[in-house]
């Protein structure tokens, strides 16, 4: 059997021609890996001299271990719910703090962004039943659940603060739908900082608190949000399904909406422009960031920090080093309002014409 996950294909009892073709594919893949390995210590800098910050997503220590070998500049998203999901019971403050401390020590001087618990929906804890919901993706999950159970969130924040003593702590709240939610969550960070200070504990050198922009309603309030948030991270997976009201787990809808649609790209450009005008740090984490063509489009939109799976760093860095971002931005400027379902073919043509590695 041949299983080709990249192309979503499986061949049972393949013929000799198919076997030879896939042996050749594996040879080409090894050559590509050698090219990416050679880029490990090279900067992710475009042809016109623009630096792009490439970071990895992680959830377990095995992911963190890939940080140095990938050439990434940091961990743009540490999914704190995964250590919860692999345990048989809810971890206490000391146990959580030990996990977070180990992550920070492994990362060394590279930054780590910790996303608070994003449970509920498709991420269930085996020891905590939240009940069934008709629409779990837009139900009681993430920040909504945490704010309704503040003791849960405060324990996690307490653990993060203790783990980050003496160094910068970056806390990211998921699925924020309006500014009051973020203000309420940030107030809990302040309370836990005061609590740790009162008990004589060692505090982080600084604390940055950010919001994930996954719910379109938050973009409408973006100017107000930026009065309170230190940084912003776009979660492209959820944002796409909420923007189009399209369940990303439904195969009947898989080809109906494209991440490279003019609608989504124009929406993202509005976010980039607002954050840039306010000098607020912005990143994007999600599947869009890890595919060279989609990542190229994000550079054209204006993103300069992307977070992805560690295996995607090499291909995306190769793309960055082969593209003229100014020319790409000028090209895309004329495509945002086209009555097209996707700009995929136009972007592919741009890359092929200019020798961009996609």
List the domain boundaries for the chain.
1-38, 43-353
Counting DSSP H helices and E strands in the chain, the numbers are: 17, 10
Share of the chain above pLDDT 90, in %: 69
Q: Is-above-0.85 flag for pTM?
A: yes
Answer yes or no: is pLDDT of 21 > 90. no
- Residue ranges of alpha helices (H) inside 3-107 are 16-38, 61-64, 67-70, 81-85, 93-107
For the chain, give the mean pLDDT.
Answer: 91
Whole-number pLDDT of residue 20: 84
Answer yes or no: is pLDDT of 254 > 90. no
Answer yes or no: is pLDDT of 62 > 80. yes
Whole-number pLDDT of residue 257: 87
Whole-number pLDDT of residue 322: 97
φ, ψ dihedrals at 285, nearest 5°: -125, 145
How many CB atoms sit inside 10 A of residue 126's CB?
Answer: 11
pLDDT, mean of residues 201-221: 96
Name the more confident of 268 and 120: 268
Minimal CA–CA distance to 148: which of 162, 169, 131, 135? 131
Q: How far apart are CA 105 and CA 290, in angstroms?
A: 25
Q: What is the pLDDT of residues 264-276, one digit of tens each?
A: 999 999 999 999 9
φ, ψ dihedrals at 198, nearest 5°: -65, -30
Q: Where are the beta strands (DSSP E) in 118-254?
A: 168-173, 206-213, 231-235
343: confidence class by pLDDT, cuts 50, 70, 90: very high
Whole-number pLDDT of residue 349: 97
253: its two tokens: 């809808």
Dihedral of CA 274/144/263/75: which sign? positive
pLDDT, mean of residues 118-126: 68
What is 43-353's CATH topology? Answer: TIM Barrel (3.20.20)
Q: How far apart are CA 290 and CA 296, in angstroms?
A: 10
Answer yes or no: is pLDDT of 120 > 70. no
Answer yes or no: is pLDDT of 198 > 80. yes
Minimal CA–CA distance to 143: which of 113, 97, 192, 182? 182
């Amino acid at each position: 059997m041949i299983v080709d996950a990249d192309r979503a294909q499986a061949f049972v009892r393949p013929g000799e021609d198919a076997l030879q073709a896939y042996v050749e594919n594996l040879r080409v893949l090894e050559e590509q890996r050698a090219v990416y390995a050679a880029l490990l210590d090279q900067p992710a800098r475009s042809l016109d001299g623009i630096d792009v910050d490439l970071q990895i997503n992680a959830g377990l220590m095995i992911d963190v271990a890939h940080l140095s070998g990938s050439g990434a500049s940091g961990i743009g998203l540490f999914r704190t719910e995964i250590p919860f999901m692999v345990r048989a019971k809810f971890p206490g403050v000391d146990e959580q703090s030990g996990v977070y401390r180990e992550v920070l020590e492994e990362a060394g001087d590279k930054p780590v962004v910790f996303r608070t618990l994003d449970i509920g929906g498709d991420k269930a804890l085996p020891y905590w039943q939240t009940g069934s919901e008709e629409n779990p993706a837009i139900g009681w999950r993430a920040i909504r659940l945490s704010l309704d159970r503040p003791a849960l969130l405060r324990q996690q924040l307490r653990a993060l603060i203790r783990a980050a003593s003496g160094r910068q702590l970056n806390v990211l709240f998921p699925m924020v739908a309006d500014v009051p939610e973020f203000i309420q969550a940030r107030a809990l960070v302040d309370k836990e900082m005061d609590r740790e200070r009162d008990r004589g504990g060692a505090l982080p050198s600084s604390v940055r608190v950010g919001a994930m922009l996954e719910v379109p309603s938050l973009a409408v309030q973006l100017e107000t949000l930026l009065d309170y948030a230190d940084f912003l991270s776009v979660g492209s997976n959820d944002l796409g399904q909420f923007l189009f009201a399209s369940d990303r787990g439904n195969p009947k809808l898989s080809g109906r909406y494209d991440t490279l649609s003019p609608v989504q790209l124009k929406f993202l450009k509005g976010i980039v422009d607002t954050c840039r005008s306010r000098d607020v740090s912005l990143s994007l984490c999600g599947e869009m960031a890890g595919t060279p063509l989609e990542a190229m489009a994000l550079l054209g939109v204006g993103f300069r920090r992307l977070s992805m799976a560690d295996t995607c760093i090499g291909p995306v860095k190769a793309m960055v080093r082969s593209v003229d971002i100014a020319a790409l931005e000028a090209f895309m400027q004329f495509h945002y309002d086209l009555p097209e379902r996707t700009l995929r073919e136009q972007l592919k043509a741009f890359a092929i014409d200019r020798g961009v590695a996609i």
